[in-house]
Structures are given as structure tokens and as C-alpha cells.
Structure 1
């Protein structure tokens, strides 16, 4: 039955991607037929359902533009001010990838989610064989307690909504090592401990391991590193640690806790080795892959995961955001840097705003800042004309775009904030690489350093540490504009490959890292450094566990651990205090003549 379902899924995928244009037209038509009479769309369409009028009159918006409508629904007004179908709750974004948490309307419609999951599973089975026979997935899953709006509607992260659904409860025992009680546990540390414990107890039944994002997977490895002796003692004695006081976790684990000295000894021998290179494959020898998102800002963790993976492929299977399910990776064995997501035309109506990144860079490079006032250069940049969006099937490979979605749940021409690059087509459906989040930048003056610019510079600089046996396990940044002149500050957390002990990095090498980062930044930054408009870049090395503490802070502020994406640029003063309190060394770039 499973094989037939997956074959059917592949056939559906072929039809969807072949008929991409027609399906997109149908999707927009259906959305307008449903919602043209809402207060929001009436203001632009006067009740008409014409698609061309929609594209001409309905503006492209950000969350700030529609937030008043969402707050009115959250406060008790009828949802038909924004969409015809009743709003059953809100998906709450984490806000850690650049900005405040958002409330995205959700409805009772679940068919698209089920189909998306089936199509994703069909692709995975095509490449890895029958995963139902390969064993369970030790997928680390976490939930966040929902909040309630004044109207009584729940607001929760999208993943939490999925995990609390009865449909998920019906399949979790068959597909995953983690009991549902451990996933729903509100204490992330207890949840992590129990999920890893049952994952180790069932290590010979595990066909894959993973988490939503690579940062959480690395945190799990660090967690095992800190607690493996205690975990082994639990397995050896059949007694759960007193640290676990959550009743749901205790009851669920009681079904697994039986003395198993041989298993405990095997795990002790693996974890007791000097080097943890390949630890994931050693602990779960039958696993076929590591399922976790390693694209975009998560690519900073691929080197560390490669070290721990033992050669297991890192699989980023899908591109999903709080606003919409978008695309599936049809080549899951692709290297993280080569992953493209094929957009599914039935999930939402997609438009794409061309982003003239290359043109803008060339434009800035041609500006002679010694002869042009800063204000004048800013005015020249702002004079670049606005660009019209293109439809899904009309994107051009090699071009970068900002994603715009129109959904069945009340988002109309909504800018998601993700920058994607079109890489090609599968049949008639385009494929995209995730590039970066829009507007996650560092800036002191008129220069702008994007998320991807910073990632590229850090990746090049950290290569200087590779011969010394260091792993970069996390980084972030902020622009210090209080000093005169202002300067960029980077925080790096380092770890040695051969032990859990942290040795001091060579100050000379760290200064070289600072200079390497600066040399990799854009022309504008380098010119401003030369003119001392920007002071030398500062690199602060922090103690191990600092980025875990940063994650804990954001989770305490409402972020979901399951959806947490470590920010590449910090804006929170409290978060900066956490980082500064754990600094173990400060280094500055040399006075380089650019």
C-alpha cells in the first residue's frame, strides 16, 4: 500500500509541475471567487473577481500593512474582513530571523498539508528506498505552548499546530522514536533529554535522524556530549533520571526503561572516544540520512554537521514558511550548497519581485565615493525604478527574486521576506535556491551588508582555523553605532575537533580572521573603512554553550525551539548582553589599506 501511495504521489508531482501555469491560474481564480467580497479586497476590486484587475489594483504589501486587519480578527471581529472562510487560529512566527513575531491566519483546511507531506515522502522513498521498512526516524520535534488572542483564538507556531493535531498523534508511534508525550512536553530540556534517550534505546531501529533546522541538530549533539554518561546510566539501570519530572515524559518513558547493560556499554565506548568525528553514524548505524534544513543561514552549520555525520547525507527536503508551503527538494542527495526547491503550483499563488542584487552591486562599485557626497549616493540608489513582479512560470534562471504569496487564508500579494534565486525548471515548475532573508543587514553609514554577504565572508575567514582543528559552531553580529566611528562586531563560538575542552585560539590567527572578513565585504564597506568612516571590525570569541543560551533566551521570549533560526544579526539589547557576558577574547582587524 505504501509503495502504491508513493508511486501515485510521483505521478501527481509530474502533473502538477507539467500544468504549472494552468494550476496557478486556477488557484488565483479560486482565491478571488472565495474572497473578493471581503472588506480588504472590496477596497481594490469592488467585488469583482478579475485576475488582471487583481494584479493591477491590489498592492504588494508587508506584514505591517495587513497587521491592523489581523489584530481586528484577533480581537473578535468577523474574519470576513480579510477572508471568507472562518479563521480557526493563527500561526505564530518566531521572529528570530529578522523582526517581531507575526500572526498568520489559519483555517480548518488541511488537504494541502497532507498532499504536500505525501509528495515529499514520495520523493524521499524514490531516492532512499522504502523508508517504512528502513526503520523509525529519530526526528527531534518540539512544541511551544499556545497563547490565546482576546477573541479566544489560539496562536501557536505552525509545527506545534501540526504536532497537536489528531492526525499526527495517530502516526507518531509508527514513524518516530519519540513518544508524543515527549514532543508535547513544554520543557525543552526535558523534551530533548527524553527524545535522545528513547532514540538511543531504539538505536538499531533508527532509519534516519534529524531536526527542523541544522542549529537544533548541533545542539542535540552538544546535549549528548554533556549528558552521555547520565543517559548511559539510565539505560544500564533501567531508571529514569530525577531531572525528569514532567508526568507525560515519565509515563511515556516507563514503557522503554528496562535494564540493558550491553547497550549502555556500547554507547559508552562510542561516546568515550577522544574524537567525536562521525558520532551520528556510530550511534545510529542504520541511519540513511540526516534530515534537517541546511540552506540559507543554516549553511553555516554544514561543516560541523559533516564532521559529526560520518558521511551521512544532509537532506533539506522542503521549503516551508509560516505563510505557505512552497517547494520540495526533488534531489535530496544534493550537497547543501546545491539544493534547489521545486515550487508546487497548487499550494498558493506565487509572484516574484526581481531583486537587482547584481545590478545594485555594480552600481555601487562604480560610484566614486571620494568625489560623491554620501547623501547624493543614497539619492542615486533610491532613484532605481520599482520593478514589477513576474508569475511563477516566467522567472528566469540566474535571477534573484523576493517571494510574494497570495493564499487561501487571507494573504494577498504578501511579501514573505525571503530572497530566492531561480536555478532552472522541472517540467514547467521553477526551482529555487534559498539565498537569504530580506533586510537582515549590518549598516553603519550608507553601506549595507546582507545576510549572504556576511555568511560568505565568515565562511572564507573560518577556513583559516581549519588546519588548527577548530570548528565554528555558531556566529552572529551587530553594528555598534554608539562608538565613533561605528564598527561591526562579530561573535564566534569555537570548538576543538579532538576534545570537548576549549583551548585559546592564537591571537595572530584571530586578527587574520578579522581582516579576512573585511576583505570579503563589499566595495562600499572597504571604501568607508579606508576613509575611517567605519572603524576596524571586532571579533569576540565566546564560551561554549553561548549560542545555546541565546536560543534559550529567544525561546523564553516566545520563539519555538522547533522553528528557531539563530539570527545572523542581533538587534535585541538583552541578547547582546547574553553574548557579551560570555566573551573570552576580543580581536580587531589590522589597519589594512584596501
Structure 2
């Protein structure tokens, strides 16, 4: 025990010296192999202690969910200088607001401590920035035993001008991808650079992405640029065609070294095709960790069918409006389920299932019922407002007094020109049925909009849906084929059919866009977020209109 204590003390001193301003470790992670191993070993030792504490905190909070929520509400109201300890009084005095369907520019995430210091702090607190990642790391190590290997995870994510927190941010030695790679000026360049660093590491155990679309686009870069990527690996340099600030390029290239053998392996595997290519490029890969919220289902399905075939997918967290709300403790389940943690956010619920019409009256987290659907209401961190988020959840079961939920739909992503209400996930199923009737066609991507967003340019016809699709396998569709989508919608939505027969809703107008149009849309979209399937702003609509080819 004495030797272990001395080793920990020595490791902590080394960590502090490396991380001091101007220290040897302050230049972007230039750790030698022994320093990396020691740093990772220390973090894992502290993680083991932190896990036990956080599991205990979670069990205590979930067993007294109502009291946990009341304590959280008191903290929020204290920040606002108010004193309304009774949740009923709070709800009565603070009216519900509705969050904008698109929201504004996401605020820059706060700087987060990493390594043993963050993990040691997590032993004493149950706040969500620490509890969530600690629980996630524990689950990952239990189900995928090698997933916490040093430099064993490649991360794909981008945010303009800043770095988004990784799922396992307290354990930075887990990642082979330099943090700076996620802060370059463009999303396309960031994914390319992150892919270069991922390809260097043949022994990867996990692929992680902020969203399924980010991993989908990163592997799309592999499709389009594998020869250039192989050349970059062979030379140990980033492509001169890549637009990067000179200082950023110099620092990133300082972390690379020529690897002709790995470049040859990349060429050999890519020439074999794309089905299962992830497992072939990284033979020790165990899991894909990716957020797959509503709207991103198409990308997850495409990855499972092709590049990531045979790999398990794990979506660790549920969040909304920038808040972390729940954790997925069951990675083996095919459909993600999340335990809403009562100490993370003050939540209320509006009944949203069948027969839920009437004045909005919320229920508290401890009062929801199994099998029911609810719209989520969150209290802002300043304690001054209660906001309808537009996310609908279904309560699957309970852990102690806390609900286990699954996301159902986004209310802002519902098509409705006459009050018919076509949710995005059901529209997607109707679209897939129509695509199956087009011989040789495969759906790559899509968005839709209500004709009113086009204004006068939509013509003097009845209100209708404008649908933009990217297809593989066909170059054009006949008018009869395009009409199949309208027929599917009429079959799937009786209310829509009634309006169509009356002539108060016009037929769907279907447009084919050029290959890569949706990737370009995501690159130009700005802050990262789930793909908007129903466009509510003219700028992205005009962007995708400019890519129409038929």
C-alpha cells in the first residue's frame, strides 16, 4: 500500500508539472509513451473510486426523486434571489414559455477540468458535468472491457471556434484525436483531420461522435478522399489543399510521423469496398459511441448497414436545450433508454399522448406514469423561466422513483399546413415506403418544408409539402413515381387524405438534389445539432433549392 501511495503521489506531481503554464505538457499533449501510460493509469485508479461514489449518489437521488428535485429547485431559485420552496407555488407564479423551434447560436461550452483532478472532485459531488461521464466510463468498461485503453478512442465532432466536451472528457488520455482538430475553421476540414489521426491508430477500440451525422460524414470523407488520406499517412503531412491556419497546421503536423505501412493497409482495405470497412481498418474495434437523436436515424441506419456493419452502437446520454438530462445504463438494449437523473435538471412534464387535450398542467418527475407520453418542460439554470422544449418522451419503466424514458418525437419537426400534424418519424417511414417503389433507388438524405415558407414563389396553389431528396441508383423520377410519396402519405395519414380529397392541401412536390448537397448543408449550418428534417428558416431552404437537379 505504501508503494501504491508513493506511485500515486509521484504521478500527481508529474501531472501538475506537465500541466503548469509553460510546462512540458502545455503544448497540446506531447506526452512520451511512459508519461501517457502513467497519466492514464492514474486516471483509471481514481476513476474506480469515483464510480463507487457516483453510483451511491445516483441510487440515493433516484430513491428520493421528489426530494432531489426540490433541492435542485431551491438551488436554482437561490441563484435568482427568490425563495419559493414549494414546487406548486413555483409553477403557479412562473408561466410556461415555448422555446423557439430553431433556437439561437449555441453558447460556447465552459472550460472543463480533465484527468485525476476532475475525477477526484467527482467523488464528492453529484452534479451532472461530472456524474454523467463517470457513469458512462464505468458502463463502457463493464460491457466493452478494452474500451478504456489509452489512445483507444477516435472522436469526430466540430464546433465553430471552440471544442465541444467529449463523452469521456475527464479521461483525456482515452482519445487519439488532438483537441485542436475539432476547432479548425470549417467542419469539413475538422472531420478530415480527425480522420487522419484516427487512421494512424490501428489498435482503436471505439469510434465516438457528437452526432451520427458527424460519423457518417467523416466516413464519407473516407469514401471520397481515401487516396489523399493514404498519402498524408505515408508522408506524415496534412494535404496542402486543406484550408487550415498556418499555426494550427504546424502544431498538428508536429504530432504526425510518416507511416508507409499503414498507408498501404488503408489503400488495400478501401479497394475491397465499404461494407464493414471500419472493422477491417481497426480490427480491435469494439463499439461505436454516438448520439442518435430524432432526425439522425437515417445516418445510424446507413452506418449499421455499411461501414460499421457488425459493430454495436451505444448512445450514452440524453440531453435537450443544452442540458444533460439522462444516462443510458443499458448499452446492450437495441433501442436507447435513459434514466432521468433527478439532480441534473428540474423537469416537468406535459401529457402529450392521445386524449391529452386541454389546458397545460404539468406533472413532476416523480408523478409521471408508465407507458405515457409527455412533452418535456425545463427550468432555466437562472431559475427565472420554465420552458417547453418541444421534445416528447415516453416513460418505459422506473428505476426506484425515477422514470426511464425513450425519445419519441420533436414537436417542432411536425408538418402541418392545415392542422393535419404529420410527425417527422412517421413521415420518414412513409418516404421509405415510397422509395421502395422506385426501382434501383436508395435514399441517401432528405428534408421537407411547408409551402408557406417559400412565399409567393410556391405559386398560387393550395398549401402543400416541398420535399427534397438525395438518391443513389437513379438519376431522375417520372411524375408517376414522384406521386407515390403523396399516395403513401394519404394511406398512412387519414386526416391528410381527407384534406387532399377536398383540395385544401395540394400534392407533394418532390425534388431531387445533387450528390453531396446535404453534407454541404450540414457543413454550412453553423452550430452542431440534430438534423432538421422540417426546415423552418428560409436560408437553409434556399441553400438546398440551389442544389436541385430534377
Structure-2 residue corresponding to 1:150 = none
Summarize the Cα distance change of 1:106–1:227 in structure 2 as closer, same or farther, 3 Å threshold.
Answer: closer
The structural deviation recorded for 1:206 is 1.2
Structure-2 residue corresponding to 1:403 = 376
Please list the CA deviations of residues 356-406 of structure 1 after superposition, one character each: whole Å capped at 9, or x if unmatched.
3x237xxxxxxxxxxxxxxxxxxxxxxx42131111121112211111122
Structure-2 residue corresponding to 1:60 = 96
Structure-1 residue corresponding to 2:295 = 297
The structural deviation recorded for 1:284 is 2.1
Unpaired stretches in structure 2, ≥5 consecutive residues: 1-44, 114-126, 453-457
Structure-2 residue corresponding to 1:101 = 104
1:455 to 403, 428, 432: 428
CA distance in 2, matches of 1:107, 1:57: 31
Kindly report which structure 2 residues correspond to 1:404-443, keeping only aligned pairs within 5 A, or say none: 404-443=377-416
Structure-2 residue corresponding to 1:42 = none
1:343 to 327, 340, 364: 340
The structural deviation recorded for 1:242 is 0.9
CA distance in 1, matches of 2:102, 2:145: 41
Structure-2 residue corresponding to 1:286 = 284
Structure-2 residue corresponding to 1:530 = 501
3-state DSSP class of the match of 1:386?
coil
Kindly report which structure 2 residues correspond to 1:5-404, keeping only aligned pairs within 5 A, or say none: 5-37=50-82, 48-63=84-99, 98-101=101-104, 111-129=127-145, 131-133=147-149, 135-145=151-161, 160=164, 162=165, 171-172=171-172, 174-202=173-201, 204-244=202-242, 245-273=244-272, 275-307=273-305, 308-335=307-334, 338-356=335-353, 358-359=354-355, 384-404=357-377
CA distance in 2, matches of 1:531, 1:190: 50
Summarize the Cα distance change of 1:132–1:536 in structure 2 as closer, same or farther, 3 Å threshold.
Answer: same
The structural deviation recorded for 1:515 is 4.1
**8 Å contact 1:546–1:579 — kept in the other structure?**
yes
Summarize the Cα distance change of 1:218–1:517 in structure 2 as closer, same or farther, 3 Å threshold.
Answer: farther
CA distance in 2, matches of 1:183, 1:25: 38
Summarize the Cα distance change of 1:215–1:263 in structure 2 as closer, same or farther, 3 Å threshold.
Answer: same
CA distance in 1, matches of 2:279, 2:61: 36
**8 Å contact 2:394–2:408 — kept in the other structure?**
yes
Summarize the Cα distance change of 1:248–1:415 in structure 2 as closer, same or farther, 3 Å threshold.
Answer: farther
Range moving further from structure 2, 317-326 or 206-215: 317-326
Please list the CA deviations of residues 304-334 of structure 1 after superposition, one character each: whole Å capped at 9, or x if unmatched.
1112212111211101233421001111232
Summarize the Cα distance change of 1:223–1:107 in structure 2 as closer, same or farther, 3 Å threshold.
Answer: closer
3-state DSSP class of the match of 1:331?
coil
**8 Å contact 1:185–1:248 — kept in the other structure?**
no
3-state DSSP class of the match of 1:319?
strand
**8 Å contact 1:280–1:309 — kept in the other structure?**
yes
3-state DSSP class of the match of 1:439?
helix
CA distance in 2, matches of 1:175, 1:109: 16
**8 Å contact 2:186–2:523 — kept in the other structure?**
no
Please list the CA deviations of residues 181-207 of structure 1 after superposition, one character each: whole Å capped at 9, or x if unmatched.
2122223232222111111011x2311
Please list the CA deviations of residues 221-278 of structure 1 after superposition, one character each: whole Å capped at 9, or x if unmatched.
11111111001011123333212442344233333433322211111011123x3111
**8 Å contact 2:206–2:289 — kept in the other structure?**
yes
Q: Which structure carries more relative contact order (alpha carbon 8 Å, separation 6+)?
A: 1
The structural deviation recorded for 1:429 is 1.0
2:545 to 551, 559, 580: 580
CA distance in 1, matches of 2:538, 2:263: 44
Structure-1 residue corresponding to 2:5 = none
3-state DSSP class of the match of 2:355?
helix
Summarize the Cα distance change of 1:453–1:50 in structure 2 as closer, same or farther, 3 Å threshold.
Answer: same
CA distance in 2, matches of 1:326, 1:294: 15
The structural deviation recorded for 1:536 is 1.8
Structure-1 residue corresponding to 2:536 = 571
CA distance in 1, matches of 2:171, 2:112: 19
CA distance in 2, matches of 1:545, 1:447: 32
Please list the CA deviations of residues 2-52 of structure 1 after superposition, one character each: whole Å capped at 9, or x if unmatched.
344334433333333223222112222333344343xxxxxxxxx554433
Structure-1 residue corresponding to 2:34 = none
CA distance in 2, matches of 1:104, 1:238: 35
4+ long deviations beyond 6 Å: 103-110
Summarize the Cα distance change of 1:254–1:464 in structure 2 as closer, same or farther, 3 Å threshold.
Answer: same
CA distance in 2, matches of 1:196, 1:14: 39
Please list the CA deviations of residues 521-572 of structure 1 after superposition, one character each: whole Å capped at 9, or x if unmatched.
42211101112222222222212101012113322xxxx2xx2322111233
Over the residues paired in the alignment, what is the CA RMSD in angstroms? 2.8
3-state DSSP class of the match of 1:409?
coil
Summarize the Cα distance change of 1:480–1:119 in structure 2 as closer, same or farther, 3 Å threshold.
Answer: same
Question: TM-score, normalising length from structure 2?
Answer: 0.80
CA distance in 1, matches of 2:55, 2:503: 58
Range moving further from structure 2, 429-438 or 345-354: 429-438
